[in-house]
Structure 1
Amino acid sequence: LRTWARKVSDKLKTLPELADVSSFGDESTQQVHVEVDREAARRLGVDMRMVASVLNNSFSQRQVATLYDDLNQYRVVMELEPGYTASPTVLDQVQVIAADGRRVPLTAFTEYTFGSTGDRVHHSQQFASASVGFSLPEGVTEEQAMGAINNALAELYLPSNIFATPGGNTGGIAKTLARQPLLLLGVLIAVYFVLGILYESTLQPLTILSTLPPAGVGALLALRASQTDFSLVALLGLFLLIGLAMKNAIIMVDFALDAQRRLRLPPREAIHRAAMMRLRPILMVNLAALLSALPLLLGAGEGSELRRPLGVAILGGLLTSPFLTLFSTPVVYLLVEGLRARLARLRPTPAPRPAATAR
């Protein structure tokens, strides 16, 4: 894992889509490697168990005894004084006892070198893991960076027992973006049920939901024209558009249904009257919402790049939604009313009950 993590880190440093790629191994700590010449130790009469015992007693804080009193117990630990362990050169002064009782310097049959190793082992979902961090240069989006990373990993041919996944904020955003279709579908289903309960009908909510495609098309065209990525913030703008776009249809449908009930108007005249009389309120509300989105689009302060996709999505949806829904909503309303009338004619009419007579 460490070998391939270092290769991945070196490969990512060559990508122009990434900046400040962290070098794997920067978190390592220094260590001393002691290499024992076993042949020399055998000639000097030094046993390997003696070498391990001396090093353990000197540097491993070996517990040698336990003192007890009436209330507590105290562990006695044997080690070198901290002043002697501050530098690896203390190994030059360590001595071991040979088989004949002689004191033999440790350096007589050993060599020590300096190296580095990881001081911790990271885990992700019970698997050993290694992380490589990076940042995005100006003008590079997260989607472009992830595409470059995937291409670089494909060129390295990682072994089958090593797999790379985005982590941190990148991993959370990637999972959220992958669930965007399900999020939109869940929102539409929830809105359909709420409208069905409000109108006590399974057909009229379709008239109101028909306003969403024009708003969505306008938002997507605005994002594409401004070369803005469809990010999580842009998805939030689509959610806001759902409420703003449906409001136009709700205003017309409510007025048309009320005209059918109170004035006994046919559906065509009712929806025509609703479109004519509610045109000014629809335009005023949409203009107010449109102007409120301009600061999000034109803002240049701190964090403006995060809010700009929200303003672009709202502005594009509100520019197309009112004009398209004013023509599409009456058409869908008449189609739904015609379907409702045909379904009503297909229902069997209950037989009249015989009148009761009293003798």
Structure 2
Amino acid sequence: MQNDGVQYLRVIVDRLAAGQFGLSVEDVQDALRAQIEGQRAGLVIEGNQRVPIVLRGPERVKLSPAEFAMLRITAADGTSVPLESVARLVRDGGPVKIDREMGSRYSVVIANVSGRDLVGFVKEAKAKIAKAVSLPTGYRISWGGQFENQQRAAARLTLVVPLALGVIFLILFSTFGSVRQSLLVLSNIPFALMGGVIALWVTGEYLSVPASVGFIALLGIAVLNGVVLVSYFNQLHAEGLSRLQCVVVGAERRLRPVMMTASITAFGLIPLLFASGPGSEVQRPLAIVVIGGLVTATALTLILLPILYLRFAHATAEVCHG
């Protein structure tokens, strides 16, 4: 974003000429500041209002370089001299505006990243700038915008996700009363994450904050499907069926509920895949992750989870008769 090209009138004080009139550089600067910005001369009190009295030069001085050059400056002996006698006026280019933050001036460089991940771009840019740019004393570079938001969100997710998994495990343990079966349900989570990662790779998207939110949504769906299957397996096992019969009959009878849960969620997110208006940069990655994760989570839940239940759900082995 270009921030220069504006013409300014720069005043270069001639120290020798000013000294001949008994003026210093600070005297000339103070006189010009009083003419342009004004100098407070008093205060008028009107009821509850306090109105300051400010003396400044005429408005035409700010608009005409010729009028500005003819400003009169009072010397120490009381004589007045025109500004052009003690200073030189030069036209110079400068910034459109000067922004400040936390007491420091700053300039903004805006870049839009396309065709690659944002985090990788920033890391590469930081390395190249650190190698090629030598900053003067007092200067620094700060990276912000969407990258800063993503870094902040990632830091929060590293705290929230393990905490959420811990709470889910406690709830599962209180439901099944078994560490093995609780871990068995949690094994559904990698199935879902794998599909989300593959979907991002196939579509060319990158891991972002919306995609991370999609992965979190997948955790709940994957755990729900696991609870549906394992709880029904336990119910059949309590009715006297062998473990092999439990997984065969249970997977067959719970096929429809699991498929309904996944299909309703996936079909509901399909419009977000084709979103192109404002907000599509948030909607599309989330939908891609959730739909891709649902495909693998549903398939692997119905295929691998019964096998894992047959092998690891109970501490003691059970002989299964055909």
Whether TM exceeds 0.5 here: the answer is: yes
Residue identity matched to 2:100: H
Matches within 5 A, 1:121-160: 121-123=99-101, 126=102, 128=104, 130-136=106-112, 139=115, 141-143=117-119, 145-159=121-135
Note the 1:208-223 alignment, pairs <5 A: 208-223=185-200
C-alpha distance in structure 2 between counterparts of 1:54 and 1:302, whole Å: 53
CA distances 1:114-170 after superposition (whole Å, capped 9, x unpaired): 3436854522xx473524232426545534542453244133334486443321333
Q: In structure 2, what is the equivalent of residue 13 of structure 1? A: none
Q: Aligned pair in 2 of structure 1 residues 280, 157: CA closer, same or farther (>3 Å)?
A: same
Give the TM-score taking structure 2 as reference length.
0.79
Shift of 1:248: 2.4
Shifted more, 237-246 versus 110-119: the winner is: 110-119
Q: Is the Cα contact below 8 Å between 1:46 and 1:96 reproduced in 2?
A: no
Number of aligned residues: 314
CA distance, structure 2, for counterparts of residue 50 and residue 322 of structure 1: 81
1:127–1:273: structure 2 CA closer, same or farther, 3 Å change rule? Answer: farther
| 1:290-322 superposed Cα distances (whole Å, 9 cap, x missing partner) | 333333334555544542222322232222222
1: CA distance between counterparts of 2:58 and 2:108? 39
- Unpaired runs of 5+ residues, structure 1, are 1-21, 343-359
87 and 316 in structure 1: CA distance in 2 versus 1, 3 angstrom threshold: same
Aligned pairs for 1:200-239 within 5 A: 200-239=177-216
Q: Structure 1 108/203 Cα, relative in aligned 2: closer, same or farther at 3 Å? A: same
> Are the structure 2 counterparts of residues 79 and 129 from structure 1 closer, same or farther at C-alpha, using a change threshold of 3 Å?
closer
2:272 corresponds to which of 282, 285, 296: 296
Matched, 1:280 2:280: no
Larger Rg: 1
Determine the structure 1 residue equivalent to 2:230. 253
Aligned pair in 2 of structure 1 residues 202, 100: CA closer, same or farther (>3 Å)? Answer: closer
Preserved contact between residue 117 and residue 207 of structure 2 (Cα < 8 Å):
no
Contact 1:136 1:145 in 2 (8 A): no
Hey, what does 1:3 align to over in structure 2?
Answer: none
Deviations 1:250-297 (A, max 9, x none): 122111222233x24454443333223222332343333333333333
Give the C-alpha shift of residue 191 in structure 1.
1.8
Q: Distance in 2 between matches of 1:71 and 1:229?
A: 61
C-alpha offsets along residues 28-65 of structure 1, whole Å, 9 cap, x if unaligned? 9765432222322344x333376456435433422234
1:178 CA drift (Å): 5.2
Letter of the structure 2 residue corresponding to residue 153 of structure 1: I
Q: How far off is 1:101 after superposition? A: 5.6
For residue 195 of structure 1, the aligned residue among 156, 172, 182 is 172
Match of 2:302 in 1: 326
2: distance between equivalents of 1:320 and 1:73? 73
Cα offset, 1:108, TM superposition: 1.9
Structure 2 contact 98–105 (Cα < 8 Å) conserved? no
Residue aligning to 2:320 = none
- In the superposition, the TM-score normalised over structure 1's length comes to 0.72
- Is the 1:267–1:337 Cα contact (8 Å) retained in structure 2? no
Kindly indicate whether the alpha-carbon contact (under 8 Å) linking 1:215 and 1:241 is maintained by their aligned counterparts in 2.
yes
Q: Cα offset for 1:197?
A: 2.9
Share of identical aligned residues, percent?
24
Structure 1 residues 195-218: Cα deviation after superposition (integer angstroms, max 9, x where no partner): 223334443221211111122112
Contact 2:98 2:106 in 1 (8 A): no
Q: Does residue 107 of structure 1 match 2:84?
A: yes
Structure 1 pair 127/212, CA: closer, same or farther in 2 (3 Å)?
farther
Cα distance change on mapping 1:90 and 1:234 into 2, 3 Å: same
Distance in 1 (alpha carbons) for counterparts of 2:62 and 2:281 = 53
Q: Which amino acid aligns with 1:295?
A: P
Distance 1:179 1:102, change over 3 A: closer
Aligned to 2:58: 81
Q: Quick check: 1:177–1:231 contact (8 Å CA) kept in 2? A: no
Code of the residue aligned with 2:166 in structure 1: it is I
Superposed CA RMSD: 3.4
Corresponding letter in the other structure for 1:130 = Y
2:119–2:147 CA contact under 8 A, matched in 1: no
Alpha-carbon distance in structure 2 between the residues aligned to 1:245 and 1:46? 85
Task: State the distance in 2 between where 1:52 and 1:208 align.
Answer: 77
